[in-house]
Amino acid sequence: EVQLVESGGGLVQPGGSLRLSCAASGFTFSSYWMSWVRQAPGKGLEWVANIKQDGSEKYYVDSVKGRFTISRDNAKNSLYLQMNSLRAEDTAVYYCASGEFEIGGYPTYFDYWGQGTLVTVSS
Amino acid sequence: EIVMTQSPATLSVSPGERATLSCRASQSVSSNLAWYQQKPGQAPRLLIYGASTRATGIPARFSGSGSGTEFTLTISSLQSEDFAVYYCQQYNNWPPGTFGQGTRLEIK
């Protein structure tokens, strides 16, 4: 059974930092693109970042470029999101997500989702 | 960036009736479109991919159609467990794999 378990969320002051983790099991982690998707309270879904299987390609939504860094450790079956210079608008539940199917070597839809971890940015 | 627009924002339907949800892309995404269902406090669940293929374990009352810029999710006979928020997502152009803003399906 595929499992994605996020951790690391919490309350942080504006300008602060936080590191999210996602522990994966039940599938060959090193074979999949991995993504972070967030959802602000009462709002819709927003893709945040994704990373290729070997970490050689990383992409970010414009609003987090230069502040967030996605990374992975295939030996530990883990995905990370280092979040710096946090803003109130980064407050959201952050989901770790992945999917089996690719088009042209790029990710597509998300078969698998974690339960999410809440990040609250407030003074 | 491709913008996905869902309509209506809220849809009120009685149990047992049919629900039709729409999703429009700002440019063609071919058939590279997925639908998700999200219930309060839960992660999204994949319903449909490739615009019309049901994901594993999804009941036959859920169907998807469309291509290019216009897409529809139809739930043929609403069950109590179907009342939720539904999102479409295009994956024709990465990054980003943009989501629609969602349609809330509520009990009439």
How far is the C-alpha of B88 from the C-alpha of B108, rounded, in Å? 23
Contact A51/A79 with Cβ under 8 angstroms? yes
| Chain B residues in contact with chain A using a Cβ-Cβ cutoff of 8 Å | 32, 34, 36, 38, 42-46, 49, 55, 87, 89, 91-92, 94-102
Cβ-nearest to B32 among A59, A108, A114 = A108
H or E element that contains B37: strand B33-38
Chain B residue with the nearest C-alpha to that of A46: B99
Q: Name the minimum distance, in Å, from the CA of B47 to any CA of chain A.
A: 9
Contact A84, A18 (CB under 8 A): no
Beta bridge partners of A7: A21
Shortest distance, CA A16 to any CA of chain B (angstroms): 26
Choose the closest CB to B46 out of A106, A109, A116. Answer: A109
pLDDT tens for chain A, 123 residues long, are 999 999 999 999 999 999 999 999 999 999 999 999 999 999 999 999 999 999 999 999 999 999 999 999 999 999 999 999 999 999 999 999 999 898 888 889 999 999 999 999 999
- The mean per-residue pLDDT over the stretch B72-94 comes to 95
* Residue of A1, A4, A43, A45 to mutate for B, most B C-beta atoms under 10 A: A45
Beta bridge partners of B104: B10, B85
b/e B78-89 (16+ beta carbons within 10 angstroms → b): beeebbbbbbbb
